[in-house]
């Protein structure tokens, strides 16, 4: 299982990085290395105990893999681009873009109160149609690959040291304080199953619904950040009791899934793609 635990981040700084027109893109966007196919067997615990065959193929950047860049208009919208970089990469140059490769089928554990299940279901089903992202809800766990459940014990993405050192108001507004999210994925940074767990003590908390919606949204993009400084976002500190994604959330989600990358995209490669777009636009 490839495991990713969202780490605690105290502040969020918007940033942009540009590359000069003389940047050599060949090492970053090379298209000439060989594909070697490989698989292994992985035991997954959720939604059900099962053994699955996992694709370990490392995709090459073939000649067609970059054809999407010329039409990727995120790169010409500085406002959305700035928010997208801040949300996905934060200040971590090693951060990688993850995308769901399979249709998401959500299953709610029967121990979750019905009113919570209904509220979150309505939120999930309100997400508009987005290319390359399909989300449904099922009452059959055998058909699901995204499990929302009450944990068997108290959970948190924060370490005890972080809880002791961070200001209480920051901990209280951090959506992963009492919710965690794990996922399975392949070696090409594509996700195919996940589980979201809620601390038992948090199930009746008035902030639970907001935090569940935030964590679900974050789980779709595996962002490094957890705040968006735009008042339309559900990740804005000024928003609460929201029933749908905000306008900017939907735009960022559409950009995130506009193209399913055929290769690893970290911050350095993403910036090279941005520069490549600018070069194409100037040709």
- pLDDT, tens digit (0-9, with 9 covering 90-100), for 179-204: 999 988 887 788 989 999 999 999 99
pLDDT score for 37: 47
Q: How would residue 90 be classed by pLDDT, with cut points 50, 70 and 90?
A: confident
How far apart are alpha carbons 202 and 227 in whole angstroms? 21
- For the chain, helix, strand, coil in percent to 5 are 35, 15, 50
In a domain, 273, yes or no: yes
pLDDT score for 43: 53
In a domain, 4, yes or no: no
Q: What is the mean pLDDT of residues 161-174?
A: 81
In a domain, 207, yes or no: yes
CATH number for the domain harbouring residue 241 = 3.40.390.10
Q: What is the mean pLDDT of residues 260-275?
A: 89
The answer to whether the beta carbons of residues 57 and 38 sit under 8 Å apart is yes
Q: Which residue has the tokens 């195919």?
A: 192
Tens digit of each residue's pLDDT (9 = 90 or more) over 102-152: 999 999 999 999 999 999 999 999 999 999 999 999 999 999 999 999 999
Q: Does pLDDT of 227 surpass 80? A: no
In a domain, 248, yes or no: yes
pLDDT score for 111: 95
Number of structural domains the chain divides into: 1
In a domain, 3, yes or no: no
Which of 33-47, 74-88, 224-238 has the highest average model confidence (pLDDT)? 74-88
pLDDT score for 153: 94
Task: Compute the mean pLDDT over every residue in the chain, rounded to the nearest whole number.
Answer: 79
Number of neighbouring beta carbons within 10 Å of residue 120: 21
% of residues, the chain, pLDDT over 90: 42
pLDDT score for 116: 97
In a domain, 13, yes or no: no
Bridge-based pairing state of the strands 179-185 and 190-198: antiparallel
Q: How would residue 56 be classed by pLDDT, with cut points 50, 70 and 90?
A: low
In a domain, 7, yes or no: no
Q: Is the peptide bond before 25 cis (omega within 30 degrees of 0)?
A: no
Lowest mean pLDDT among 148-152, 156-160, 169-173, 182-186: 169-173
Domain that holds residue 196: 26-282
Q: How would residue 165 be classed by pLDDT, with cut points 50, 70 and 90?
A: confident
In a domain, 16, yes or no: no
pLDDT score for 9: 30
């Amino acid at each position: 299982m490839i495991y990713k635990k969202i780490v605690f981040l105290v502040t969020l700084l918007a940033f942009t990085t540009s590359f000069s027109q003389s940047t050599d893109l060949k090492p970053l966007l090379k298209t000439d290395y060989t594909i070697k196919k490989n698989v292994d067997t992985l035991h997954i615990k959720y939604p059900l105990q099962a053994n699955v065959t996992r694709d370990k193929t490392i995709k090459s950047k073939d000649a067609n893999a970059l054809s999407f860049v010329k039409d990727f208009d995120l790169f010409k919208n500085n406002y959305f681009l700035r928010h997208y970089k801040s949300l996905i990469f934060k200040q971590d140059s090693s951060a990688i873009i993850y995308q769901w490769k399979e249709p998401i089928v959500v299953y709610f554990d029967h121990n979750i109160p019905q009113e919570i299940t209904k509220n979150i279901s309505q939120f999930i089903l309100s997400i508009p149609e987005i290319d390359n992202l399909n989300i449904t809800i099922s009452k059959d766990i055998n058909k699901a690959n995204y499990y929302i459940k009450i944990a068997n014990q108290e959970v948190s993405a924060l370490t005890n040291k972080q809880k002791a050192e961070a200001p209480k108001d920051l901990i209280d507004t951090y959506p992963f304080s009492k919710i965690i999210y794990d996922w399975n994925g392949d070696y090409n940074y594509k996700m195919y199953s996940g589980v979201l767990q809620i601390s038992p003590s948090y199930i009746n908390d008035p902030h639970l619904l907001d935090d569940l919606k935030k964590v679900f949204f974050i789980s779709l993009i595996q962002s490094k950040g957890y705040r968006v400084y735009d008042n339309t976002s559900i990740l804005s500190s000024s928003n609460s009791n929201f029933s749908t994604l905000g306008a900017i959330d939907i735009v960022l989600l559409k950009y995130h899934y506009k193209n399913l990358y055929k290769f690893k995209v970290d911050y350095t490669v993403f910036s090279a793609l941005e520069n490549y777009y600018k070069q194409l636009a100037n040709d």
